[in-house]
Structure 1
Amino acid sequence: MKSSNQASAGKTNTTTVEVGQQFPLTIKRLGINGEGVGYYKRHVVFVPGALPGEEVVATVTKPGERFSEAAIKKIRKKSTERIDPPCPIYDQCGGCQLQHMEYEASLREKADLVRQAFERYTNFSNEKLPIQKTRGMDNPWYYRNKSQLQVKKSKGVVEAGLYAQNSHKLIDLSACMVQHKSSNHVTQVMKEILQDLDISIYNERKHRGAIRTIVTRVSFKTGDVQLVLVTAEETIPKRKQVIEEVKKRLPEVTSFMQNINDQKTSLIFGDRTTLVSGEETIHETLGDVSFSLSARAFFQLNPEQTVVLYNEAKKAAKLTGTEKLVDAYCGVGTIGLWLSDQVAEVRGMDVIEESIVDARHNARKNGVRSYQYEVGKAEEWLPKWVRQGWSPDVVVVDPPRTGCDQKLLTTLKQTKPQRIVYVSCNPSTLAKDVEQLRLAGYKVNNIQPVDMFPWTAQVESVTELSLKK
């Protein structure tokens, strides 16, 4: 699915193209999904795999009125930043989009993606956008602490992997160069256990079978692994034997959970999670702050870069020790707890109850003196606290890709905290939300992109906003 900035591209252009049509194209920039962007007679064309500066012959695969998609027929002029992707199934899996591009070049382009979004959705007039260089990793491999791989049986063999882009074809992942090596190992062995015990595998078309998804989460600090089997049935078949085999073959698994999802849905998790064996949580440490993580709790997927991201958030918050802080969309309390040593009180909220249970536990464990974490939406709790006479000085928001809820933005514009720190995973929704806050009297002081997901088109950022005097 194309993003809104792609959909709006070429709105006034009347050039039409047809499937199979070929033409030369010079690639000007990267699009939000990592594809090359070029112009054919002012008509916008998106070309997956093409890099800025390249001259290609493109073949139209999906024509459109406002923009079209095309495939590379031939590269006439290759970018000096093009490299051979090291992953053998890079072109099939779809998990990474930029392994064919030098890493430093991808950092530059990610900052440009943020710039494009602000130029499209905001009106800064003559103000210069304060976008910094993207902060990357020294070693951008094996950085993900969590994997969620769909399970199927193909010709009698258990497979687990990701669906190829724009299809329902499962690409089996025997190893992944961006997943922690322990995730790869545990998933592989779990596939072998399911195969050896002939455990029923879920068939999506027939809506029958037991095992749907293998989920792993690794603690970079301790090396412990949390294993979650998502099932379409109430019980794990041959449960006792499965437990015995996991204990014997995977001693690093200290938390073995089952999540039950019996719905016809593309969502990974259902609402019920039960303990199979071991502990209900695993423990992770970021800097001096430790966290307990339950199966469904949100936690940043790249621990090393999370420290970079949260330090940027702390820098943007400009705390003095007296502030009342709100950590909206708080998850297990990570950002709020990271900043808690420099505030008078921290409050947070999240819609997942297990996350709030974890957040309260994490606050106690880290010796936070004054905190309050509640189950629910930020747009509900913040107005309630304001009505009770409690107003925040600093609000940190880390919303999903859809951005902040409009009710929360309205509340922020009404209560006017002195400082807002916006942690974003989507430049387009970030820019739209920031424009609302800017028009309500906030100044954008700094925008710091952070590369949380090397080799993908995704970019996170920390934006510092302060109330104009």
Structure 2
Amino acid sequence: MANQKPSFNNKNKSTINPVLHEGQTIPLTIKRLGINGEGVGFFKKTVVFVPGALPGEEITAEITKVFPNRAEAKVKKLRKPSKDRVTPPCPIYEECGGCQLQHLSYPAQLREKQDIVRQAFERYTKIPASRLPLKDTLGMAHPWDYRNKSSFQAGRKDGRIIAGLYSSNSHELIDIDDCLVQHPDTTKVTNEVKRILKDLNIPIHPDKAKRAAVRTIVVRTSFETEGLQLTLVTSGENLPKKDLFLSEMKKRLPMVTSIVQNVNDKKTSLIFGEKTIHLGGSETIAEKLGDLSFELSARAFFQLNPKQTVVLYDEVKKQAKLTGSEKIVDAYCGSGTIGLWLAPFAKEVRGMDVIEESIANARENAAKHGFKHTVYETGKAEKWLPKWLKEGWKPDVVVVDPPRTGCDESFLQTVLKIKPKRMVYVSCNPSTLAKDVHMLMSGGFEVEEITPVDMFPQTAHIETVCTLIWKG
């Protein structure tokens, strides 16, 4: 049996690392934070990820999972804590998992998020560390109460109706009756809605009688107007006691200006279904960013941190270096928010998106604000940029804000053919940003500036504004 091949079935996959095994305890010094907010250390050249550990800390770690080139562990003993470690103010911080960095002081969060961006560029580009034009992270004066929207799963526990998030890596629903990063109005409405549902004995999904039942309670508030919107996501259209519910809402929560129902009858992790029913008040609420205003329907995308969105968009404007004579392309434009923010300072703005409804919203928003030098088309940039170039229209500046997966390679190839003078890339994922930047640099662009923006304090997420200039 000497020639028998080792087994690589799922049962044995976690035992093929020659250095570590599950249950093993090791001494570990944490060097930096990983992209998900976990501490990163090295044991005999094997990288070890430890949630809850902070840079500079010396710990005893217990290995929980082992892979061929890395391992995961938990803190068994904190031997030397970081000077930046603080007591998390949230009582369910460790259970909830919605935040990852409440145990790290806010100045240190900003510093470590900058380092997360630095790590991505070190790994995926060839820019020397000494020449990386990475600026300090732009943070918030008050890094709490910033989220304008909550989406909490409904459930039952010990005779109560609860609403919250699932605990990390489990199916346990954690009841959240106070969230320090949510706007207080969203918390107040959610808690009262839970009481109304209980008082009226409205079914909660899953319902044994297979009635239409409440799955999710979604509350959105406006920071700049008095709008408050409640969306009940239900498993069916005919929700029992709907009229009684609306009557109680009017009595107990008169500040709610928009009530809608969304029907999601599918087994899916997606919150919303395709059908939305207007129940009471306005169909939308209004929100403002600077001098721009937007009407938000229940399913409309809008940045979750309006105050910091102004900081983000101002950074885009600063890095675009507009003089009023530039022609701008706003790729992946959605409802046109970034392009409209830049429109007063540009000669022309053209945007595109594959979602037809988003383009309709962008056109409506542009018309509402009196912009006559904007063009919005449905489709991919790979289609529209070459078409416009053939017609004699070439952009001076391309602005892009793609999903976490980054830009399509075909889009990047199109940008390399168009050769705009400047490209401003807004990213919510430093790794895909750095990969795309590497491709653009290989084709003739040079990085001018990289600025992290903290859109989600207390979490590991970081937004980045990166500008590239064409060098040829």
User: Structure 1-normalised TM-score?
Assistant: 0.93
Alignment of 1:44-123 (within 5 A): 44-123=47-126
Instruction: Report the CA distance between 1:380 and its aligned residue.
Output: 4.4
1:260 maps onto 2:263 in alignment:
yes
| Alpha-carbon spacing, 1:204–1:149, altered in 2? closer, same or farther (3 Å) | farther
Query: Partner letter of residue 436 of structure 2?
Result: D
Give the Cα separation in 1 of the matches to 2:286 and 2:406. Answer: 29
Give the Cα separation in 2 of the matches to 1:195 and 1:377. Answer: 47
Give the Cα separation in 2 of the matches to 1:110 and 1:21. Answer: 30
Using the TM superposition, name which of 399-408 and 306-315 deviates more.
399-408
Query: Partner letter of residue 102 of structure 1?
Result: S
Q: Do the aligned residues in 1 keep the contact of 2:19 with 2:44 (CA within 8 Å)?
A: no
Q: What secondary structure, in the 3-state scheme, does the structure 1 residue paired with 2:59 have?
A: strand
Q: Which residue of 1 aligns with 2:219?
A: 216
Instruction: Report the CA distance between 1:329 and its aligned residue.
Output: 2.1
Q: 1:420 aligns with which of 414, 419, 423?
A: 423
Q: Which residue of 2 aligns with 1:3?
A: none
Q: 1:226 aligns with which of 226, 229, 234?
A: 229
Q: Which residue of 2 aligns with 1:239?
A: 242
Q: Which residue of 1 aligns with 2:347?
A: 344
Q: What secondary structure, in the 3-state scheme, does the structure 2 residue paired with 1:85 have?
A: coil
User: Structure 2-normalised TM-score?
Assistant: 0.92
Query: Partner letter of residue 264 of structure 1?
Result: K
Using the TM superposition, name which of 87-96 and 270-279 deviates more.
270-279
| Alpha-carbon spacing, 1:39–1:206, altered in 2? closer, same or farther (3 Å) | farther
| Alpha-carbon spacing, 1:377–1:228, altered in 2? closer, same or farther (3 Å) | farther
1:334 maps onto 2:337 in alignment:
yes
Give the Cα separation in 2 of the matches to 1:381 and 1:243. Answer: 47
1:407-464 CA distance string (max 9 Å, x none) = 2112111212221110111000000111111111111100000110001011101001
Give the Cα separation in 1 of the matches to 2:74 and 2:362. Answer: 46
| Alpha-carbon spacing, 1:265–1:290, altered in 2? closer, same or farther (3 Å) | same
Q: What secondary structure, in the 3-state scheme, does the structure 1 residue paired with 2:67 have?
A: coil
Give the Cα separation in 1 of the matches to 2:139 and 2:339. Answer: 23
Q: Do the aligned residues in 2 keep the contact of 1:44 with 1:66 (CA within 8 Å)?
A: yes
Instruction: Report the CA distance between 1:353 and its aligned residue.
Output: 4.2
Q: Which residue of 1 aligns with 2:375?
A: 372
Give the Cα separation in 2 of the matches to 1:180 and 1:304. Answer: 12
Query: Partner letter of residue 214 of structure 1?
Result: I
Matched residue count: 457
Q: Which residue of 2 aligns with 1:202?
A: 205
Give the Cα separation in 2 of the matches to 1:32 and 1:241. Answer: 47
1:17 maps onto 2:30 in alignment:
no
1:252-284 CA distance string (max 9 Å, x none) = 221212222221110111222232222222111
Q: 1:464 aligns with which of 457, 462, 467?
A: 467
Q: What secondary structure, in the 3-state scheme, does the structure 1 residue paired with 2:131 have?
A: coil
Q: Do the aligned residues in 1 keep the contact of 2:329 with 2:397 (CA within 8 Å)?
A: yes
Give the Cα separation in 2 of the matches to 1:349 and 1:271. Answer: 23
Q: Do the aligned residues in 1 keep the contact of 2:231 with 2:260 (CA within 8 Å)?
A: yes
Q: 1:179 aligns with which of 175, 179, 182?
A: 182
Work out which of the two has the higher radius of gyration on C-alpha atoms and give 1 or 2: 2
Give the Cα separation in 2 of the matches to 1:128 and 1:205. Answer: 62
Q: Do the aligned residues in 2 keep the contact of 1:296 with 1:354 (CA within 8 Å)?
A: no
Instruction: Report the CA distance between 1:16 and its aligned residue.
Output: 2.7
Q: Do the aligned residues in 1 keep the contact of 2:427 with 2:433 (CA within 8 Å)?
A: yes
Q: Do the aligned residues in 2 keep the contact of 1:20 with 1:59 (CA within 8 Å)?
A: yes
Give the Cα separation in 2 of the matches to 1:33 and 1:407. Answer: 28
Using the TM superposition, name which of 322-331 and 373-382 deviates more.
373-382
Q: What secondary structure, in the 3-state scheme, does the structure 1 residue paired with 2:206 have?
A: coil
Give the Cα separation in 1 of the matches to 2:266 and 2:378. Answer: 24
Q: Which residue of 2 aligns with 1:313?
A: 316
Q: Which residue of 2 aligns with 1:279?
A: 282
Give the Cα separation in 2 of the matches to 1:402 and 1:442. Answer: 21
Query: Partner letter of residue 271 of structure 1?
Result: E
Query: Partner letter of residue 300 of structure 2?
Result: A
Give the Cα separation in 2 of the matches to 1:390 and 1:140. Answer: 43
Unaligned residue ranges in structure 2 (runs of 5+):
1-15
Q: Do the aligned residues in 1 keep the contact of 2:447 with 2:469 (CA within 8 Å)?
A: yes
Q: What secondary structure, in the 3-state scheme, does the structure 2 residue paired with 1:414 have?
A: helix
1:330-355 CA distance string (max 9 Å, x none) = 22221111101011222223344443
Q: Do the aligned residues in 1 keep the contact of 2:61 with 2:74 (CA within 8 Å)?
A: yes
1:167 maps onto 2:170 in alignment:
yes
Q: Do the aligned residues in 1 keep the contact of 2:234 with 2:264 (CA within 8 Å)?
A: yes
Give the Cα separation in 1 of the matches to 2:337 and 2:203. Answer: 37
| Alpha-carbon spacing, 1:354–1:182, altered in 2? closer, same or farther (3 Å) | farther
| Alpha-carbon spacing, 1:206–1:109, altered in 2? closer, same or farther (3 Å) | farther
Q: Which residue of 1 aligns with 2:410?
A: 407
Query: Partner letter of residue 49 of structure 1?
Result: G
Unaligned residue ranges in structure 1 (runs of 5+):
1-12
Instruction: Report the CA distance between 1:94 and its aligned residue.
Output: 0.5
Q: Which residue of 1 aligns with 2:5?
A: none
Give the Cα separation in 2 of the matches to 1:238 and 1:441. Answer: 63
Give the Cα separation in 2 of the matches to 1:353 and 1:208. Answer: 34
Q: Do the aligned residues in 1 keep the contact of 2:25 with 2:61 (CA within 8 Å)?
A: yes
Give the Cα separation in 2 of the matches to 1:348 and 1:245. Answer: 44
Give the Cα separation in 1 of the matches to 2:237 and 2:89. Answer: 41
Instruction: Report the CA distance between 1:207 and its aligned residue.
Output: 8.0
Give the Cα separation in 1 of the matches to 2:49 and 2:24. Answer: 14
Instruction: Report the CA distance between 1:234 and its aligned residue.
Output: 2.1
Q: Do the aligned residues in 2 keep the contact of 1:83 with 1:101 (CA within 8 Å)?
A: yes
Give the Cα separation in 1 of the matches to 2:173 and 2:79. Answer: 33
Using the TM superposition, name which of 260-269 and 115-124 deviates more.
260-269
Q: Do the aligned residues in 2 keep the contact of 1:16 with 1:64 (CA within 8 Å)?
A: no
Q: What secondary structure, in the 3-state scheme, does the structure 2 residue paired with 1:326 have?
A: strand
Q: Once the two structures are aligned, what percentage of the paired residues are identical?
A: 61
| Alpha-carbon spacing, 1:27–1:310, altered in 2? closer, same or farther (3 Å) | same
Instruction: Report the CA distance between 1:239 and its aligned residue.
Output: 2.0
Structure 1 stretches of 4+ moved >6 Å:
204-208
Instruction: Report the CA distance between 1:91 and its aligned residue.
Output: 0.3
Q: Do the aligned residues in 1 keep the contact of 2:426 with 2:465 (CA within 8 Å)?
A: yes
Instruction: Report the CA distance between 1:326 and its aligned residue.
Output: 1.7
